[in-house]
Amino acid sequence: MKKLFILILTILFLAPSIIFAHPGRTDSNGCHTCKTNCPEWGLETGEYHCHATKVKTETKHYSKRSAK
């Protein structure tokens, strides 16, 4: 019974991290540019955004230029 309780508690603790996580490593400021499946996370493709930082940053949009 104790093992089951610990298992359930662990799952409940980890579930929010798994549910709200999205791909992409962060830089030294805790920020990154969204490159894939951005609308699924409520972001625009190329949107630079931050996670849990103390530094206030602006959202920047970058677009790829096509070579002519």
Query: So where are the chain's domains?
Result: 25-61
Q: What ranges make up the beta strands (E) of the chain? A: 31-33, 47-50, 60-61
Is pLDDT at 5 greater than 80 in this prediction? yes
Instruction: Return the pLDDT at 53.
Output: 52
Q: Which pTM was predicted?
A: 0.41
Q: How many helices (H) and strands (E) does the chain have?
A: 1, 3
Task: Encode pLDDT of 13-60 as tens digits.
Answer: 766 555 555 566 788 888 888 888 889 888 899 998 887 655 554 555
Per-residue model confidence (pLDDT) at position 25: 75
The pLDDT of residue 3 is 92
Residue 16 confidence (pLDDT): 57
Note whether 44 and 34 are within 8 A (CB): yes
Residue 34 burial (CB count, 10 A): 20
